[in-house]
């Protein structure tokens, strides 16, 4: 289940965690969520399954039209990937880069998948009973 990060303090808390992965088409920031911290009443049901996500694009990305297109593309990528592959109990912030609006969609999907794996936030939905993809090898 996906919820949205909406307020500046929520975005800043994720940034303070200092966990990020930079890919050609996006930057992913991840923070573990503390119980009770910024949680809505809806997220108390099945806390482990809920992940919250926010999107941002600075003026460095381009004008308003380009920034909006980049954020729309990031939202579409997350709608396809995150429900099945993002671990719950975390907050995610996706930051658009100057290449986000023009990058092939498959490239954005690959960027997000790689970022989730590198940030130890990837789960394989095709094998829900199997251990996490990153577990065991370290």
Instruction: List the domain range (segments joined by +) for residue 111.
Output: 2-118
| Residues 101-127 pLDDT 10s | 999 999 999 999 999 999 888 888 665
**CATH number of the domain encompassing residue 74:** 3.30.230.10
Structural domain includes residue 51: yes
Structural domain includes residue 125: no
Structural domain includes residue 80: yes
Structural domain includes residue 128: no
Structural domain includes residue 132: no
Structural domain includes residue 67: yes
Structural domain includes residue 135: no
Question: Can you tell me the distance from the alpha carbon of 30 to that of 18, in angstroms, rounded to the nearest whole number?
Answer: 8
Q: Domain tally for the chain?
A: 1
Bridge partner list, 118: none
The answer to pTM > 0.75 is yes
Structural domain includes residue 131: no
> DSSP letter string over 28-85?
EEEEEPPTTSS--GGGGTTTTT-EEEEEE--GGG-SHHHHHHHHHHHHHHHHHHHHHH
Of 82, 121, 104, 91, the closest CA to residue 17 belongs to 91
> Given a cut of 60, is residue 39 above it in pLDDT?
no
- Say if CB 119 and CB 111 are below 8 A apart: no
Q: What is the pLDDT of residue 126?
A: 65
Residue 130 CA, distance from chain mean position: 22
């Amino acid at each position: 289940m996906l919820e949205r990060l909406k307020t500046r303090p929520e975005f800043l808390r994720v940034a303070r965690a200092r966990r990020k992965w930079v890919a050609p088409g996006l930057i992913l920031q991840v923070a573990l969520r503390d119980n009770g911290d910024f949680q809505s009443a809806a997220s108390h049901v099945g806390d482990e399954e809920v992940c919250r996500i926010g999107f941002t694009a600075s003026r460095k990305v381009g004008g308003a039209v380009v920034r909006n297109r980049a954020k729309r593309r990031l939202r579409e990528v997350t709608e396809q990937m995150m429900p099945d592959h993002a671990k719950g109990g975390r907050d995610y912030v996706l930051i658009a880069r100057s290449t986000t609006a023009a990058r092939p969609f498959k490239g954005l999907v690959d960027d997000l998948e790689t970022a989730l794996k590198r940030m130890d936030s990837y789960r394989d939905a095709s094998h829900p009973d199997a251990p996490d993809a990153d577990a065991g090898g370290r």
